[in-house]
Amino acid sequence: RRALDLAAAALPAVTTDGVRVQLAANIGTPRDIDRAVELGCEGVGLYRSEFLFMDRDSFPTEEEQFAAYRAVAEKCGEHLCIIRTLDVGGDKPLPHLDFGRESNPFLGWRAIRISLDHPEVFVAQLKAVLRAGAYGKVAVMLPMIISAAEIKKAREYLAYAAGELEREGKAFAGNIPLGIMVETPAAAVTAVRLAGECDFFSIGTNDLTQYTLAVDRGNQRVRGLYNHFHPAVLRLVNDVIGAAHDNGIWAGVCGEMAGDPLAAALLVGMGVDELSMNSTALPRVREKIRGISAAGAKELAAEALLLNDGEQIRAFLAETLGDHS
């Protein structure tokens, strides 16, 4: 059984008509990478770096971060390791950072906003990422982007970080890809413009669903309303993938949606290039993709996009794809 699983993990996620989709892993700490590699991940699509920053009373140093990023980059081998910069705030507080009183933390001081307000913290992180790039293929990804200006500022800090390393004589990768999470309605709607400022998109459907539907992703009371198949979410996701391709960059999905086999089939139909998920979801998503044709998935997506209700869309996909789980 184990031998069979290992053999299956080595198979590429390719549709019956030959369209290849990159299957990557979401990880929180370097400890997660071994299991992900065993399950056949092709690199890391989302390294949630914030776990390095939590449960401690000061910011991790550049050295500490470098050690963690390097360990993961090395294990990714020839595949890309996408390191997301600090994404705290909202439901992820940092004990040593004063957030003041926020009545709407999810709409407050979080993610890229904190990094741009604390250049010393941001630059230390960027330097660690660039240095890890000397040991593997790394990319940097910015969370919660809402404007081109934020990407431009981040790029300036990235160039500054490279300059510092140059002066210090440390080894680093000069030209790493810079991508953004598309996880706010603002970024999704203006994706055409943002595509010109970055090298790739990774759609964060967890937050994109939360912000598009105005439904708190962690609130049990409104759980029934939280659905990544809501037509508004699907339309944004489809448009973002199209905007990426029209502008010559690739688009992936790294929210929970990517690890849902029914959704994965739909995303393949929308032309998604990469799906990044918790590693336990890799086998069933790989199996689903190997069982469908991209042409069929495209028709499926076109039909799904015409339906009016998230639950109806989920049922339609389950029915059509023969999955009643």
Closest contact distance (angstroms) between CB of 246 and ligand PEP is 23
Touching ligand PEP, residues 78-107 (CB under 6 A): 87
Nearer to ligand PEP among residue 150 and residue 183 (C-beta): 183
- The CA distance from 81 to 176, in Å, is 11
Task: Please give the structure tokens belonging to residue 29.
Answer: 């700490």
Minimum CB distance to ligand PEP smaller for 62 or for 207: 207
252 counts as binding Mg ion under rule CB under 5 A: no
For ligand PEP, the closer of residues 190 and 293 by Cβ is 190
Measured CA to CA, the distance from residue 157 to residue 166 in angstroms comes to 14
265-279 burial, b for 16+ CB within 10 Å, e for fewer?
A: bbbbbbbbbbbbbbb
Beta strands in 56-154 (DSSP E): 80-84, 137-142
Q: State the amino acid at position 301 in one-letter form.
A: A
Beta bridge partners of residue 203, listed in sequence order: 182, 253
Nearer of residues 207 and 256 to Mg ion, judged by Cβ:
207
Amino acid in the structure at residue 196: G
Among ligand PEP, Mg ion, none, residue 125 binds (CB under 5-8 Å by kind): none
Choose, by CB under 5 A, the member of 30, 40, 179, 204 that binds Mg ion: 204
Size of the site for ligand PEP (CB under 6 A): 10
Q: Cβ(210)–Cβ(106) under 8 Å?
A: yes
Report residue 274: phi and psi, to 5°. -145, 145
DSSP, res 174:
S
Assess 48 for contact with ligand PEP (CB under 6 A): yes
Binding mask 197-236 for ligand PEP (x = CB under 6 A): -------xxxx-----------------------------
In whole angstroms, how close is the CB of 181 to ligand PEP at the nearest point?
A: 7
| Single-letter residue type at 5 | D
Residue from 45, 133, 179, 255 that binds ligand PEP (CB under 6 A)?
Answer: 255
Is the CB of 46 or the CB of 140 nearer to ligand PEP?
46
Per DSSP, the residues of 247-262 read TT-EEEE-SGGGGSHH
CB 283 within 8 A of CB 39: yes
* Whole-number Å distance between alpha carbons of 325 and 311: 14
Q: How far is the CB of 203 from ligand PEP (least distance, A)?
A: 7
* Nearest-approach distance from CB 22 to ligand PEP, in angstroms: 16
Please calculate the CA angle 72-76-82 and round it to the nearest 5 degrees: 70
Taking the least distance from each CB to ligand PEP, the nearer of 179 and 204 is: 204
The amino acid at 80: L
207 binds Mg ion (CB under 5 A): yes
φ, ψ for residue 89, nearest 5 deg: 95, 180
| 15/227 with CB nearer Mg ion | 227
In whole angstroms, the minimum distance from the beta carbon of 204 to Mg ion comes to 4
Q: Does 183 bind ligand PEP (CB under 6 A)?
A: yes
Write each residue from 235 to 254 as x if it is in contact with ligand PEP (CB under 6 A), else as -, in one continuous string: -------------------x
Binding span for Mg ion by CB under 5 A among 54-62, 119-127, 207-215, 263-271:
207-215
Please report which helix (H) or strand (E) contains residue 22, including its range. Answer: strand 22-27
Is the CB of residue 317 less than 8 Å from the CB of residue 265? yes
- Applying CB under 5 A, the residues found at the interface with Mg ion are 183, 204, 207
- Applying CB under 6 A, the residues found at the interface with ligand PEP are 46, 48, 87, 183, 204-207, 254-255
